[in-house]
């Protein structure tokens, strides 16, 4: 009995040690980015790096925000990510409901198979075809090109997340609503969606973060400041021969802050949304 307690105690200690090490490994890059953004240029370029800035300064943040107009890029990213999330969630809710309730139909099975295959195709493989399509439709240098591309790539997984949750919703709820005279759409809007808030927020966060962090299509489809988003804007601080590391890390911190705040406020719903479809009944 004593031996079992001692073994459990040792296992618990080892678990906490391993988790602490993993947490440190995950958090250290962000910590290094923050302290680099607070260092003056002379301190960033020293041969022996320091873990704590000796003369912290906000000069890099002022340079990024005022001299480069980084706020405009963040607004552009907010517009693209927000509209992408709205479009993808409307489609994901409808498609996820269909996959959940009509999975026995052959057409629905075929759609499910297509969504699965689409997840296996890397975005870079479709870059040239999508660029040509946007060029033919005269959609380059606009929000629309990014919104369409981002929505296409986040929709399959968002659909499966919603479908997994709808599978856990008792069919009796819909049958009761139908007895009260509700149609399919009214049942979905009035009965199913109110209990789906955690999963909707979870899938919406995934869509928003994916669109906010997207770089490839933003870099290729846009070349003007008017519509440039955050991720390609960060690359502006890296020149051919020199790199402004202070401004680059400051811009990276500013780009991460909105996502971090949103996730901190909604993490409860995000976790419950991920778990909601894991157990049925």
Give CA–CA dist 237/41, Å, rounded.
14
Whole-number pLDDT of residue 278: 45
Whole-number pLDDT of residue 160: 86
CA nearest neighbour of 36 among 254, 247, 255: 247
Give CA–CA dist 227/236, Å, rounded.
14
Whole-number pLDDT of residue 83: 95
Whole-number pLDDT of residue 163: 86
pTM: 0.82
Angle at 116 between CA 115 and CA 122, to 5 degrees: 90
Q: pLDDT in tens for each of the 281 residues of the chain?
A: 556 777 777 888 889 999 999 999 988 888 888 888 888 887 877 777 778 888 888 888 888 887 778 888 999 999 999 999 999 999 999 888 888 888 777 877 788 888 888 778 887 888 888 899 999 999 888 899 999 999 988 988 888 888 888 888 777 777 777 777 777 777 777 878 888 888 888 888 889 999 999 998 998 898 888 888 998 888 888 776 677 788 888 888 888 888 888 877 777 666 655 555 444 44
Mention every residue, 6+ apart, whose C-beta is less than 8 A from residue 212.
Answer: 77, 81, 230, 258, 259
What is the torsional sign of CA 109, 185, 211, 267? negative
């Amino acid at each position: 009995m004593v031996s079992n307690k001692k073994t459990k105690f040792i296992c618990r200690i080892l678990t906490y040690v391993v988790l602490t090490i993993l947490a440190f490994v995950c958090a250290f890059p962000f910590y290094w980015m923050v302290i680099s953004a607070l260092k003056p240029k002379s301190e960033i370029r020293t041969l022996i790096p320091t873990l704590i800035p000796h003369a912290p300064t906000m000069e890099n943040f002022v340079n990024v925000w005022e001299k480069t107009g980084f706020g405009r890029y963040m607004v552009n990213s907010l517009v693209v990510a927000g509209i992408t999330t709205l479009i993808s969630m409307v489609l994901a809710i409808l498609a996820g409901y269909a996959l959940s309730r009509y999975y026995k139909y052959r057409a629905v099975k075929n759609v499910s198979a297509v969504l699965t295959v689409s997840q296996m195709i890397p975005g870079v493989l479709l870059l040239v075809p999508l660029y040509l399509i946007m060029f033919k439709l005269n959609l380059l240098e606009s929000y629309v090109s990014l919104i369409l591309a981002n929505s296409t790539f986040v929709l399959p997984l968002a659909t499966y997340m919603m479908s997994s949750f709808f599978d856990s919703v008792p069919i009796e709820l819909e049958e009761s609503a139908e007895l009260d005279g509700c149609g399919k759409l009214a049942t979905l809007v009035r009965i199913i969606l109110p209990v789906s808030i955690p999963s909707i927020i979870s899938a919406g966060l995934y869509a928003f973060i994916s669109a906010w962090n997207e770089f490839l299509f933003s870099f290729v489809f846009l070349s003007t400041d008017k519509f440039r988003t955050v991720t390609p804007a960060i690359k502006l601080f890296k020149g051919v021969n020199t790199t402004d590391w202070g401004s680059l890390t400051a811009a990276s911190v500013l780009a991460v802050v909105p996502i971090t705040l949103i996730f901190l406020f909604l993490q409860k719903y995000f976790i419950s949304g991920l778990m909601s479809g894991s157990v049925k009944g």
